[in-house]
């Protein structure tokens, strides 16, 4: 079955850019929408945005100015970049497959913890 | 966009039914039948429990049901079991074509 695996640095310095990759295995990256979601320690879920396999993106308005998502269909990989990070960006970051362009995320990665600290 | 409003906690005894509310606006919950619910056990990955307001993915118990009235969606868990103890989040599509999560509800089985 489809599996998602997030990867990237666990520690990022303030003001730098957070970069994560999500590798999709066991199924196609095409025909699906792919979301990034984050969860600060002890807090709730926050939708960051989604990307369609064609490259179409849609971002959370509160993060729009700092977020860039991309897709590499040849590698079955998604990427997330979040610039000018602060401590408030410390969170577990998840990638998830969505059923259409709707908030129905049926397959999730295990998540990766990113801490923003000097 | 503001997070959808959920009660911080709901509790019930085994076998009872509980309902979790998710209140938004006419620009999200009230405007579309695109509400989903997720269950998250401590330290675990969220799991899709309900989509399209009231549809259940394959494998999800029929003890979980969803509904909507106006700007408020609801998740009902009937025949409460110990394993239902978890955090629950609603999500809705919005008029900006984005998604918004609820604030989350901790369900405690007494």
- Chain B interface includes A61 (CB < 8 A): yes
Judge whether residue A28 has pLDDT over 80.
yes
Task: Closest CB to B89: pick one of A44, A50, A58.
Answer: A44
Beta bridge partners of B91: B36, B101
Q: Which of residues 70-109 of A touch B (CB under 8 A)?
A: 94, 99, 101-106, 108-109
CB distance A98 to B93 below 8 Å:
no
**Cβ neighbours for B99, distance < 8 A, ≥ 6 positions apart:** A35, A47, A50, A103, B91, B92, B93
Is the Cβ pair A94, B57 closer than 8 Å?
no
pLDDT digits (tens, 9 = 90+) for A9-21: 999 999 999 999 9
- Torsion of the alpha carbons at B78, A97, B3 and B51, rounded to the nearest 10: -30
What's the whole-number mean pLDDT along residues A95-118?
Answer: 95
What pLDDT is stored for residue A101 in this prediction? Answer: 86
Residue B16 CA to residue A78 CA, distance in Å, equals 43
- Residues of chain B with pLDDT > 90: what percent? 98
Is the Cβ pair A103, B48 closer than 8 Å?
no
Band the pLDDT of A99: cuts 50, 70, 90: confident
- Chain B interface includes A52 (CB < 8 A): no
What's the whole-number mean pLDDT along residues A62-88?
Answer: 96
Give how far B78 is from chain A: nearest CA, Å.
22
Residues of A in contact with B103 (CB under 8 A): 44
What pLDDT is stored for residue A100 in this prediction? Answer: 85
pLDDT digits (tens, 9 = 90+) for B41-79: 999 999 999 999 999 999 999 999 999 999 999 999 999
- A28-34, long-range: CB within 8 Å, 24+ apart, which pairs? A28/A76, A29/A53, A29/A71, A29/A73, A29/A76, A29/A77, A29/A78, A30/A73, A32/A97, A32/A98, A32/A99, A33/A97, A33/A98, A33/A99, A33/A100, A33/A101, A34/A71, A34/A78, A34/A95, A34/A96, A34/A97, A34/A98
Q: Output the furthest CA–CA distance in chain B (Å, rounded).
A: 40
CB distance A67 to A85 below 8 Å:
no
- Chain A interface includes B92 (CB < 8 A): yes
Q: Which chain A residue lies closest to B2 (C-alpha atoms)?
A: A62
CB distance B56 to B75 below 8 Å:
no
Judge whether residue A70 has pLDDT over 80.
yes
CB distance B86 to B39 below 8 Å:
yes
pLDDT digits (tens, 9 = 90+) for B4-49: 999 999 999 999 999 999 999 999 999 999 999 999 999 999 999 9
Tell me whether strands B47-50 and B35-40 are parallel, antiparallel or unpaired: antiparallel
- Residues of chain A with pLDDT > 90: what percent? 93
Is the Cβ pair B99, A103 closer than 8 Å?
yes
Is the Cβ pair A35, B99 closer than 8 Å?
yes
What pLDDT is stored for residue B108 in this prediction? Answer: 98
Task: Closest CB to A102: pick one of B47, B93, B101.
Answer: B93
Q: Which of residues 31-60 of B touch A (CB under 8 A)?
A: 34, 36, 38, 40, 45-48, 51-52, 57
């Amino acid at each position: 079955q489809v599996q998602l695996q997030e990867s990237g640095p666990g520690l990022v310095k303030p003001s730098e850019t957070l970069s994560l990759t999500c590798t999709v295995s066991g199924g196609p990256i095409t025909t699906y929408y792919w979301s990034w979601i984050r969860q600060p320690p002890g807090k709730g879920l926050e939708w960051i945005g989604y990307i369609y396999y064609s490259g179409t993106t849609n971002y959370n308005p509160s993060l729009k100015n700092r977020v860039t998502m991309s897709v590499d269909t040849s590698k079955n990989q998604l990427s997330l970049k979040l610039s000018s990070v602060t401590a408030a960006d410390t969170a577990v970051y998840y990638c998830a497959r969505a059923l259409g362009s709707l908030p129905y995320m049926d397959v999730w990665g295990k998540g990766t913890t990113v801490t923003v600290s000097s | 966009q503001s997070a959808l409003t959920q009660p911080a906690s709901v509790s019930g005894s085994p076998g009872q039914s509980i309902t979790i509310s998710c209140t938004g606006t006419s620009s999200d919950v009230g405007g579309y039948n695109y509400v989903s619910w997720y269950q998250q056990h401590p330290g675990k990955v969220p799991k899709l429990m309900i989509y399209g307001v009231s549809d259940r993915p394959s494998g999800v118990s029929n003890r979980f049901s969803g509904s909507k009235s106006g700007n408020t969606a609801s998740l009902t868990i009937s025949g409460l079991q110990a394993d239902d103890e978890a955090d629950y989040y609603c999500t809705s599509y919005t008029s900006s074509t984005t998604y918004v999560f609820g604030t989350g509800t901790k369900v405690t089985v007494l």
